[in-house]
Chains A and B, each alone.
Chain A
Amino acid sequence: MLPKDLTPASFAAYPPEARQLATKQIALLQRLPLVFVPLLLRELIVYDWKFPSERADLDRQFSWLSNLSPAAFETAMSDFTRLKTTPALELTDWVNNPGIFSEQLSAQLWATHQIDSFRKAAVDYVEKSSAPPETLPTHRLGIAVIGQGSDTSAGPLFRKLRPHGVHFTQVKSTAGLQQLLAAVASRAKAHPAPYAHWYIDGGAALTTSGGVTQVSYNALSPLRNTLQTRMQKAYEAPVFDPEAFRTMLAQIKPEETGLAGDSVLNRFQLSLLTEGSGTQVFATTFVQWAAREALRRAQPLTLLTRFAPRQREKQMNELLAERQRKPDLDPQGSLIDADMGAYYNWINQQRLPGDKESAFLAWFEDHNEAVAIAPALERGKRSDSPIDLAHLIEQLA
């Protein structure tokens, strides 16, 4: 099947809002090259469960493509059109399974040394179709709390963040986490919007106020157990097909796993565990990946992440059997993981619009060490003066 053959009936299996949008944009979809249109459909097919900023982005892409002159449209798609594909790709059900098409396309692009050309085409497209940065209701704030359960650090902390802000060595805190949560709640109250303020915890989450989207590793324990059972079965099977396994994971629905309530958030949480690597077994990886995905997809104004100790490295079938035993934790290794995770949180925050005004705080939980990054703070400085965590977060929030 080729794009020109698309009809409204092609999207009969799509969820309601996705089907409506696809039908509305069908004339445009018919004009797009085969290499490109499934990539767009991969986003469109989950439109019903997308965050507001993702919907806005997809709407903007359709608008941008629709408004191009015929010549500009041809130019915009020319790099994709030039990529060579096999007839076998045309035979796949790329309308209903655009993800599988993407995987097969990716394998083919690598095998035929076209992956670099594809990357360039994709980067160019994203740059051109992106809208000018919008004005945010307030600056972004990222907070990373690391080191839960660690008494000391074996090496210097925050080495990658320090050059970008002030390294505080005498941070005083009592109930520091509650102070940080209060700052998040305050921002949520002052700038209410769906999925604009997040709290992600690698263990058991503390109570937050309304208006804060909350995700925690412990709360997803039933879901992780369900997935781990399926993964373990696959792991122990005599023959294992990795592609079929990935497809199986991708096709799991939230309702099959006991998740109820917010369907958008449920889909997001499920994706963290079915699409992330290591998120199913390591709490530190879960928090870092969840933060990356929340920033990339929901573009929150506020993101508080709290890293918790992960279980020690073991053979995969043991890791997957976490539910059957009390996990043996690795606080020191987890602190190193979280230190890097905090750095990645900051990088991912800085990729979003408003990066010049954004602020970031990384704090060694229940210790006196932190790094703060903000436009008003000098870069690469160290402060040995005592400072209250509450005062510090007040400056940044």
Chain B
Amino acid sequence: MRLADLQGRAAHEISQAISLSRRNFLRTVTGAACLGAPVLNAMVAAKNRKAVIVTFGGGARDEETFMPDGQENIPHLLHELMPQATFFTNVVNKGILGHYVATASIVTGVYETFNNFAAVSPNNPTVFEYFRKDLKRPATDAWVVAPSNGFARIGESGHKLYGPGLGAGVILPKRLLSAALSANSDGAQYQHLLRDNYETPLYAPSLTGRQIELEQMAQVLKLSVDDFATHARSLVSPDELSVYIAKQLMRQLSPSLLWVTLHDIDIAHSGAFSLYLDGIKRSDRLCAELWQTIQKDPEYANRTTMFILPDFGRDSDIESGGNGFQHHRTGDALSRTTWMMVLGPGVKQNTVIDRPTESTDLIPTLGAYFGFDARMSTGKPIAEVA
């Protein structure tokens, strides 16, 4: 497929073309099959299951990932994770392409329509509320690690039947680090970890969600402020900080539902292509690290399914209304079409699924997996992994 060939074609045709390109390339690189391979592990009882969801806030385009020129940027996804995964080539996001509102849409299974830059809760119940209310799970069993202060309210909705007290704890690592640094004097050494928002770089939202604060972190994660700040010094990016916190959560609390949103890729909004590629490479490596952590932790090994998906794509080079990789503003088919990788017991390995799915299908899928009813979601369970 050449991008130029896509001009003048309908959106669903473009989505299909993207999907086929991804599949053809994956088959070349990994030998992935379209039919299911034997199931890896016996099914785990629903009550013992765990799920880790990793979203890329700031979509990565096929050209920099699954197309031949992009292969070098995602060695871990292609060669380590793909052989163990079912890969969905055609995941379409039909909602608003802003990172907070899009993540909220994935989290609720409904296309949310609020202002992307407003400090508001999702309008519809989140996966965390369904999970905790239906399954009577404690607050310590569902967590979100989010990249930007704007995600402070992602853990629970404003819905009157759910809402306050029923959602997930939200950890904003950069917020914690910032607070930790205010007690110390050498903040300059950590500044590279504190960049908050690439989409509107100067956006500084008010923090009014149920995010965990510094003292709580020390208690919950059994991590001293000094240790946290010291470790942060060895990290190169905000996403590394998020994954570090996610690993601490897994070690100390072993939550059954853990949602991590990576965000380094969104540096693309600055227009610097090399920084965007760096973000992709880092996300690729961090996904593999998380999967390795899952496999090594007895609380997670053989009972955890990991879902990896960008929240949406980025504008294509041929869309004259955009500026290529830099933004996701045109709403063209390439910016809406993305992919999802699923790994875990009961998930077919090295398998490619081409049929269209939507971002909003993830929450009903998690409902089927855990045994709760995502009753207000407009999505449908994805049968292949539900």
Q: Which residues of A approach B to under 8 Å, CB–CB?
A: 107, 110-113, 115-116, 119, 159-160, 231, 234-235, 237, 239-240, 242, 245, 276-279, 281-282, 284-285, 288-289, 292, 310, 313-316, 318, 330, 332-337, 339-341, 343-344, 347, 351
Contacts and interface: CB of A to CB of B under 8 A. Distances in A.
The secondary-structure label for the interface of chain B is: loop
A344 to B, nearest CB: 6
Q: Which 4 A-B pairs have the closest CB atoms?
A: A285-B271, A278-B270, A336-B274, A333-B274
Contact of A315 (B195, B325, B330): B195
B337 to A, nearest CB: 13
Q: How large is the interface on B (under 10, 10 to 19, 20 to 34, 35 or more residues)?
A: 35 or more
A282 B272 contact: yes
Contact of B191 (A235, A285, A314): A314
Contacts of A245: 202
22 contacts: A107-B115, A110-B97, A115-B331, A119-B331, A119-B332, A234-B202, A239-B204, A242-B200, A245-B202, A277-B269, A278-B271, A278-B272, A278-B326, A284-B272, A285-B271, A288-B271, A313-B270, A316-B201, A333-B278, A335-B274, A337-B273, A351-B320
B299 interface: no
Interface in B326-345: 326-327, 330-332
Contact of B270 (A112, A242, A282): A282
A116 B115 contact: no
Interface string B298-336: 000000000000000000011011011111001110000
B187 to A, nearest CB: 10
A235 B192 contact: no
Greatest chain B CB density within 10 A among A292, A332, A335 is at: A292
A123 to B, nearest CB: 9
A330 B321 CA distance: 29
B6 interface: no
A111 B97 CA distance: 10
Interface of B: 11, 69, 94-97, 111, 113-115, 117, 191-192, 194-195, 200-204, 206, 267, 269-275, 277-278, 317-318, 320-321, 323-327, 330-332
B235 to A, nearest CB: 14
A245 B204 CA distance: 12
A316 B193 CA distance: 11
Contact of A239 (B206, B267, B330): B206
A317 to B, nearest CB: 8
Nearest to B11: A116
A336 B277 contact: yes
Contacts of B274: 330, 332-337
Contacts of A279: 271
Contacts of A334: 274
A245 B201 CA distance: 11
A316 B270 CA distance: 11
A276 B272 CA distance: 13
A37 to B, nearest CB: 20
Q: Dominant SS at the A interface? A: helix
A323 to B, nearest CB: 17
Given A115-B331, A316-B195, A282 B271 contact: yes
B255 to A, nearest CB: 31
A314 B94 contact: no
Given A112-B113, A284-B271, A289 B323 contact: yes
A239 B330 CA distance: 29
A284 B321 CA distance: 20
Nearest to A343: B317
B272 A313 contact: yes
Nearest to B194: A315
A142 B217 CA distance: 55
A277 B331 contact: no
Contacts of A340: 273, 324-325
A284 B275 CA distance: 12
A352 B10 CA distance: 23
Contact of B96 (A110, A235, A237, A351): A110
B150 to A, nearest CB: 11
Given A242-B200, A315-B195, A344-B324, A310 B269 contact: no
Residue among A159, A160, A314, A333 with max Cβ neighbours from chain B (10 Å): A333
Nearest to B69: A159
Given A111-B113, A113-B94, A242-B117, A278 B191 contact: no
Contacts of B95: 113
Contacts of A343: 317
Contacts of B271: 276-279, 282, 284-285, 288-289, 337
Contact of B272 (A237, A285, A292, A318): A285
B11, B113, B194 — which one has the most chain A CB atoms within 10 A of its CB? B113
B326 A277 contact: yes
Contacts of B269: 277-278
B64 to A, nearest CB: 10
Contacts of A284: 271-272
Given A119-B331, A277-B326, A242 B273 contact: no
A159 B206 CA distance: 44
B203 A242 contact: yes
B60 to A, nearest CB: 14
A351 B326 CA distance: 18
A327 to B, nearest CB: 14
Contact of B203 (A111, A240, A315): A240
A282 B274 CA distance: 12
Contacts of A237: 204
Nearest to A341: B273
Contacts of B327: 277
Contact of B330 (A119, A333, A351): A119
B38 to A, nearest CB: 39
A115 B325 CA distance: 20
Nearest to B267: A313
B96 A111 contact: yes
Contacts of B202: 231, 234-235, 240, 242, 245, 316
Given A340-B273, A344-B323, 11 more contacts: A110-B331, A119-B331, A239-B206, A277-B201, A285-B272, A314-B192, A315-B194, A333-B272, A336-B273, A337-B273, A343-B317
